Chains A and B, each alone.
Chain A
Amino acid sequence: MYKLIPIFLLLIFSTGRVAAREELPEQGSKYYTAQEYEKAAQAWEQVLASGRESAELYYNLGNAYFKMGDHVRAILNYERARRLAPQNDDIAFNLSIANQSVVDNLEELPRPFFSRWFTALAHHASADGWARMSSASFLLFLLLLGSYFFGRSNLVRKTAFFTAMAAILFSLVSFSLARHNHTILQNRSGAIIQCPRVTIKSSPSETGTDLFLIHEGLKVEITDSLDSWKEIRLSDGNKGWLRDSCLVVI
C-alpha cells in the first residue's frame, strides 16, 4: 500500500509538461546576450507560434522588446509572464520599469484588506504550483489519517491527528488559491492599450460622448463587448467603450 504513494507523486510532477527538443529558446538567449534583440524576439516568437509557452519565455521576449524600445509589447509580454508565474520577482520588477513609460497615472481603487491579503498570498505561487501543493498535502493528510486510525501508541495517534488536520486545511487553502490563479489565467480579461492615444467613449459607437483619453501601454480590464467594441474598466474604476483594434488581450 505505501508503495503506491511515490508512484502518485511521480505522476503529479511529471505530467502536463511537453519536453521541448528544439533549440530555439536557447538560440534566442544567445542573440539577446549578443544584443541582437530583434533576432532574439523573432526566435522566441516562433516558439510561441508553435503553441507552447512558459513564463520564462514571455519574460525573455518582454526583455527583448524593452531593449528594442517597444514598451507596449514589453508590458504585454511581462503581463503574460506574470499570469503564469505571479511569484517571480524579476518579472514584477521589469514590469514596473516598463510601466514607467506609461503616460497615464491612475490611482487604484482601495480594496478591503482580506482581498489584498488573499491576492498577495495567491501571488506566492502559480496556479499549478498551488494545485501541486494541494494534491501533495491531501495525500499527506490521508497518510496521517491512516496512522491515526492504526497507530499503536497514543502519542503517535495524537500527533498524526493534529498534523492531518493541518494538512487538510492547507490542502483546502492552496486549492482555493490555485482556483483563484487558474480563474485569472482562464478569464483573459486583462488587456493592454496599443494605440498611442485613444479616446474612451460613453457608448459603443463613434458618436458616443468622449469620456477620457488614455495612452499606450496602459493595462485595462475588459468587462463587456459588443461587435467590435469593448467595454473596459481602468484600475481607478472608470469605465468606457473603445474599439477592440486598440486592445491586445494579455
Chain B
Amino acid sequence: MLKKFFILAGLILLGFHGGAEETRLVMSAPNAVAVGDQFRLTFNINKRGENLTLPDLGNFDVLMGPSFSSSTSIQIINGKSSQSQDFAYTYILRAREAGSFTIRPGSIEVDGKVFQSNALTIQVVSGQAQGGSQGSAQGGQAQQGSQAQSGEAQGATGNISKSDLFIRLELSRRQAWKGQQIIATVKLYANPNLPLSGFEEVNLPTYEGFYTQDIEIPQQINFKREVYNDKIYQVGVLKKTVLFPQQTGNLTIKPFSITTLVQQRVRQRSFFDDFFTGVQTVRAKLTSDAVSVSVKDLPPAPADFSGGVGEFKISPELDQTEVTTNDAVTFKLNISGTGNLRLIQSPKLTLTGDFEQYDPNVSDNVRASEAGVSGTKTIEYLFQPRFEGTYKIPPLTLVWFNPNSGQYERQSTPEYELKVTRGTGDAGTGVVRSVRKQDVQTIGQDIRFISQNQEKLHSRGVSYFGSLLFWAVYLLGAAAFAVFFVVYRKKMAENANLALVRNKKASRVALRHLKVAAGHLRQNQGEAFYDALLKAFWGYLSDKLGIPLANLRRETATEALETRQVDPALIGEFLSITDQCEYARFAPASGAQAMQELYDQAVVVITKLEKQIKR
C-alpha cells in the first residue's frame, strides 16, 4: 500500500517536473548599431537568479544598468492554469568604434546552478550621423542643420533619397547550373528614422525563364536591423522564392516596383499648420535594379538522365515477393533530397509481357524553405503477374546532376525476385479468359531488304513485246492454224468420199461374191460355196457400214444395222443365213437343194438390205 503511494507521488512529481519549462538565459541586442549610439543589451530568464555576470564588453561602454524588471503571466485554459514569469536585466551600452564584435555569453546563478547565455555578434557602423534605435523626435531636432535641411528638402519635393529607402532582390547565387536552385529574397530597406506606414501596388518580380516555388514566410512583415553598405537599415522580407533556371545563358530578372507610404514631417508654413498638418503621408515608388544570373548548361547527359538537379537518394520498397497470379504488386520508389524534385521524370519500369502493368502513381511531398526545396517524391509502380513462375524485377536507376560536384550521379535499386504461384479462380476453371488484343506497334520504319532472286539480266531496250518473235507468234500461229485447218478439212472430205465409193461399190462386190458362190453351187463344192456366201455378206456389210472387216462381228454388225433402223426381221434373216453358213462349213452334209435355197434367200436379204441401208 505504502509502496503504491510512493510510486504515485513520484509519478505526479515527475509530471510536474516535466511540465516545467527549462531555464534558459537569453541575451539579446540589436545586430547593427552606429558608433556613439546608445542601445540595450537585455538578459531574459524565466526564473529569478542572482549574480548576473557580464561578459567582457571591451568595445562598448556601459552607460547604465543593470535595471531589473519582471513580469508574470497566468493562463487558464480549460481549467488548467499555467504560470510563466519573465525576469529582465537591461544594460544601456554605447559602441566606441566601428567593426564587428562578438559579445561572449554572460552567466547567472539560479538555485545554485550557473546558466550560460548565448553569444551575440554586433556590427558597429561608423559615420551614421542620425540617431540610434531610439532616435526620438527630440534627437532628430537636436541634430546639425545640414541633416535637418535634407529632411526639409525631402518633405518639400516628396522625394526620398535612394539610400534611405529602396528595394532589392537578393539571390543566393549569381552563377548556377541549369536546374540548380537559387533562393531569391525580395527585401525592403528603410532608414530606421523613416516612418514607413504601409504599401500600395506591390509588383513582385516575374521570374522569366525560371521554374519557381514560393517559400512560406509570415504574413506580418518583420523588420530586422541589417547593415548594408556601412549603413544601418530596417530590413523587411517581402517575399522568398526558390528559382530553378530553365534556360541557359544570362537570365535577367526585370526590375520590379513597390509604392510605399512614408510619413513626413512638413515644415510649418503658418501658425495654424502646426496643430494639424505637422505630418504628411507621401507616396514613394521604389524600383529595384535588374539582376542577372548566368546559367550554365549541364554537361552532356547520359541517356538515362532523369532531369533532376540537386542531391538525391532513392530507396525502393517491394510490398511482397511471393504472390499468386493476378495479385496486385506494388513497387515503391522513394526519391528524397533537395533540388528540383518535381521535375524529375519517373524511371521506367520495363517488365515482360507476362505482367499487366499500370501507369505509375506519382506523389510528392515537397517543402520550400530557407535551405531550398526539399522533400520526397514517391513513385508507385503497380502490376499484376498473369502467369506463374519466377520473375526478376529489373533494377531501376536514377541519374541526377549534382551541382556541387558538377557531375552526374546515379543510384540503382537492387534486382528483386518475384515468385508467382497459381492463384485460385483463374485459368482452368473452364471460363474463357478474355485477352486484351493489342495493335502491333510500329517501332521503326526501314526499306525492305534487297532482292535475292538473281533474276536474269537482259540488254537494255530489249523487250519481248514488239520483238520479231512476238509478232511471229501471232502470224505463224494464225498461219499454222490456217494450214492445219485446210489440210484437215481436205483429208476429211477425202475420207468421206472413200466411204461413199465403197458404199456404192458394195452391192457390186456382193454380186461378184454371189456369182462366185453360184459357180461353186453348180460344181457342187459345198465348203467353197459357203465361204463365198459369207464373204459376200461380210464384205457387203463392211463397205456399206464403213466398219473394217477386222472389227466386224455378229454383235457389231447387229448394232450398226440397228442404228441405221434396219427392220429387225431382216436382221434376224441375215443372222440366220450367216449362222447356217457357219454351221454348214463345219458339217457339209446338206444336199444341193438346201444350198440352192440358201443362195436364193441370201440374194433376197442383200437386195432388201441394199434398199434399207441407203438412207
Contacts and interface: CB of A to CB of B under 8 A. Distances in A.
Interface of A: 1, 4, 8, 11-12, 15-20, 25-26, 29, 32, 47, 51-57, 59-60, 63-64, 66-67, 90, 93-94, 97-98, 127-128, 130-132, 135, 138-139, 142, 145-146, 149-150, 178-179, 181-182, 185
B458 interface: yes
Interface residues of B, number: 35
Given A12-B469, A128-B463, A59 B454 contact: no
Interface in B426-472: 445-460, 462-467, 469-470
A60 B451 contact: yes
Given A97-B445, A135-B474, A56 B467 contact: no
B458 A16 contact: yes
B445 A56 contact: no
A60 B458 CA distance: 16
Contacts of A63: 447-450
B477 A139 contact: yes
Nearest to A55: B455
A66 B457 contact: no
Contacts of B462: 16
Contact of A53 (B451, B458, B488): B458
Given A8-B477, A15-B469, A142-B478, A94 B448 contact: yes
Q: Report which residue of B456, B465, B478, B488 has the largest number of chain A beta carbons within 10 angstroms of its beta carbon.
A: B465
A135 B457 contact: no
Given A17-B458, A142-B477, A146-B485, A32 B463 contact: no
A60 B476 CA distance: 39
Contact of B459 (A26, A51, A56, A98): A51
Contacts of A90: 448, 451
Contact of B448 (A20, A47, A93, A146): A93
Nearest to A85: B455
A139 B454 contact: no
B464 A146 contact: no
B114 interface: no
A52 B484 CA distance: 41
Given A63-B447, A131-B464, A19 B484 contact: no
B451 A59 contact: yes
Contact of B473 (A8, A25, A128, A179): A8
A127 B465 contact: yes
A16 B460 contact: no
A56 B452 CA distance: 8
Contacts of B484: 1, 146
Contact of B460 (A17, A52, A64, A142): A52
A12 B454 contact: no
B481 interface: yes
Q: Report which residue of B457, B480, B481 has the largest number of chain A beta carbons within 10 angstroms of its beta carbon.
A: B457
Given A12-B469, A131-B464, A131-B465, A25 B457 contact: yes
A27 to B, nearest CB: 12
B447 A97 contact: yes
A230 B478 CA distance: 45
Contacts of A26: 454
Contacts of A56: 451, 453-455
A20 B458 CA distance: 8
A4 B446 CA distance: 50
Nearest to B466: A182
Q: Report which residue of B447, B459, B484, B492 has the largest number of chain A beta carbons within 10 angstroms of its beta carbon.
A: B447
B477 A16 contact: no
Nearest to A15: B469
A63 B449 CA distance: 8
Contacts of A54: 455-458
B450 A20 contact: no
Given A1-B484, A135-B474, A15 B447 contact: no
Given A25-B457, A54-B458, A138-B473, A16 B449 contact: no
Given A16-B467, A178-B465, A53 B447 contact: no
Nearest to A171: B474
B480 A4 contact: yes
Q: Report which residue of A55, A56, A98 has the largest number of chain B beta carbons within 10 angstroms of its beta carbon.
A: A56
Nearest to A13: B464
Nearest to B474: A138
Contacts of B480: 1, 4, 142
A32 B448 CA distance: 13
A185 B470 CA distance: 17
9 contacts: A8-B476, A16-B458, A53-B458, A54-B455, A54-B458, A60-B450, A93-B448, A97-B446, A182-B463
Nearest to A145: B481
A146 B465 contact: no
A192 B463 CA distance: 24
Nearest to A57: B457
A4 B472 CA distance: 14
B448 A185 contact: no
A17 B456 contact: yes
Contacts of A94: 447-448
B454 A135 contact: no
A15 B464 contact: yes
Contact of B452 (A11, A29, A57, A93): A29
Given A8-B477, A127-B464, 9 more contacts: A12-B464, A16-B458, A16-B463, A19-B456, A20-B457, A138-B473, A142-B480, A149-B485, A185-B463
A90 B453 CA distance: 13
Contacts of B464: 12, 15-16, 127-128, 131-132
A20 B456 contact: yes
Interface in B284-328: none
A52 B476 CA distance: 30
Contacts of B452: 29
Contacts of B470: 131, 135
Contact of A52 (B458, B465, B469, B485): B458
A29 B477 contact: no
Contacts of A146: 481, 484-485
B478 A135 contact: no
B450 A15 contact: no
A51 B463 contact: no
